[in-house]
Amino acid sequence: MAASVARVLRSLVRPSAAASLVSLSPRRFLAGGAQFQYIVVEKKGAKQNVGVIQLNRPKALNALCDGLVNEVNQAIDAFELDPHVGAIVITGSEKAFAAGADIKEMQKKTFQDCYQGNFLAHWNKVSLVRKPVIAAVNGYALGGGCELAMMCDIIYAGEKAQFGQPEILLGTIPGAGGTQRLTRAVGKSLAMEMVLTGERISAQEAKQAGLVSKVCPVDKLLDEAVSCGEKIAGNSKLMVALAKEAVNAAFETTLTEGSKTERRLFYSSFATDDQKEGMTAFVEKRKANFTDH
């Protein structure tokens, strides 16, 4: 079983080449020899411990077709299983992170198609993984692209990035968490304005509103996101997963219930080797050597 998993992972990712991510040809393979058509996958960082997924559908500005979403989900699963990967970065091109869902795919869908087929439910995979996911957003993050970015745990934006939920202009509303995550991130008033008018906000406005944690020069964005991923990956992966769960509880529960969840997770950390190692290293004034146990 372990050998088969290793083969799958080796077929999905390879160490970073000297060329930049944007210039890499999308020749990445799934188990069984099938090629990725819509994404480029690799590992980055000095220790090759940050998984990078680049959306690679340039002619459509990385519009999120069903095939692209399925490939992202497969890559996410592979990185989740890879014990050497401590964080994941999702990015696009300098022009577009993702300009939205593929309208041509959904144009003729009926209510019955959407309801019976549970349309868009599989888009949620990014928000369910235990490892932290960082969105590195350059250019357009609109509609489904904005929703994908908000499913990630951290959002870094290039200086020219634009965020928006323009579904209202197409005669519909956000369907992959846009009304919910945007409101939690920026508050009711700005979320209402963006959703009801379809207007966009800049990277600087997104930072001021709390949607984005850092704004970077366009050509430095991916490096900054990978650097953040390396810092995360250098910690105990077990503790990172507990911490992520605790923070996410703040969005899902009341303050009282969230605090109880945090306390239970805090207590559970004392049953691990990494807690003992971390505190012992602090007392002994040395760097901790975490083993993820």
Catalytic site positions: 101, 144, 147, 167
How far apart, in Å, are the Cα atoms of 256 and each of 180, 243, 273? 21, 17, 29
DSSP string, 15-78: BPPSS-TTTS----B-TTSPBPSSEEEEEESTTS-EEEEEE--GGGTT-B-HHHHHHHHHHHHH
From CA 62, how far away is CA 59, in angstroms rounded?
Answer: 7
Helix H or strand E encompassing 219: none
Dihedral (Cα; 4, 22, 151, 166), 10-degree rounding? -140
Instruction: Give the residue carrying structure tokens 């004034």.
Output: 285
Q: Which two tokens stand for residue 17?
A: 């080449």
